[in-house]
Amino acid sequence: MPTPKYREAQLRLRSYISEKGLAAGDQLPAEADLAASFGISRLSLREAIKGLETVGVLKTRHGGGTYVEPFSFSPILENLPYAIELQSRDLRNLLEVRAALEEGLIGRASEWIRRRDLEALRELAVSMETATPERIAELDRQFHLRLYEPLDNPLVDQMIELFWEIFHRMQEQTVTSAPSGAELARLHLNIVDALADESDVVQAMSRHFDDIRVRLDHEA
């Protein structure tokens, strides 16, 4: 089966960006010029551009041309279906990936942690104790993002947020019981205390994920 024109145009566009060394923020040539260069119709080119916009490669500004977008995991989140057929094992597998990521990075993050980071983390953890379930989820997301902020690595930030968001969505669909705000506050404060005392922060993080594992096993 021949490759659809729009798909061929997407491949040509990706190759063009790579060959020309275009970076985030760089503008592509005019639509008519690109279509003529690729030997395709402007309609096929437009379909290709729309497809690459969906996955975050390009961005068209109304009346202002088409530009290369910075790398981001956001399109993955935006295109995740909200009604996924899941089993508890899927959530457990995702938890293991998320735990490996965070436990693997926490030691390095602890080397760069600052007093203001500790204060912000402690405030987020304490706030969980009396927050509503909806607010607790947001506090938890902020806590895990702030935890790795000292690494000053945008890719790490995006990966932490990606796995947090996917896990949170899956957990909402498969887990019926949830820890209390007080329990969550305690688990997160243990992490902050380990950072402040320069003790075994990896173990504190591991205990946090162990608590989630126990709850998932209970649901199975």
Question: What are the pLDDT digits (tens) for 11-31?
Answer: 889 888 989 898 889 999 998
Separation CA 89–CA 81 (nearest Å): 18
103 near 205, Cβ under 8 Å?
Answer: yes
Quote the pLDDT of residue 83.
42
Taking the CA of residue 149 as centre, how many other CA atoms within 13 Å lie in the half-sphere pointing to its CB? 14
Structure-model confidence comparison of residues 174 and 91, the more confident one:
91
Strand partners, 67: 27, 59
Confidence of residue 219 (pLDDT cuts 50, 70, 90): low
DSSP percent split of the chain into helix, strand, coil, nearest 5: 70, 5, 25
CATH code that applies to domain 76-219 = 1.20.120.530
Where in the chain are the domains?
5-71, 76-219
Count how many residues are written for the chain. 220
Q: Which CATH architecture has domain 5-71?
A: Orthogonal Bundle (1.10)
pLDDT tens figures, 196-210:
988 889 999 999 999
Does the pLDDT of residue 213 top 50, yes or no? yes
pLDDT digits (tens, 9 = 90+) for 115-168: 999 999 999 999 999 999 889 999 999 999 999 999 999 889 988 988 898 888
Other CB atoms within 10 Å distance of the CB of residue 46: 16
Q: Residue 66 in contact with residue 28, Cβ under 8 Å?
A: yes
Mean residue pLDDT of the chain comes to: 86
Residue 37 or 83, more confident = 37
pTM for the predicted model, two decimal places: 0.69
Would the pLDDT of 174 be above 80? no
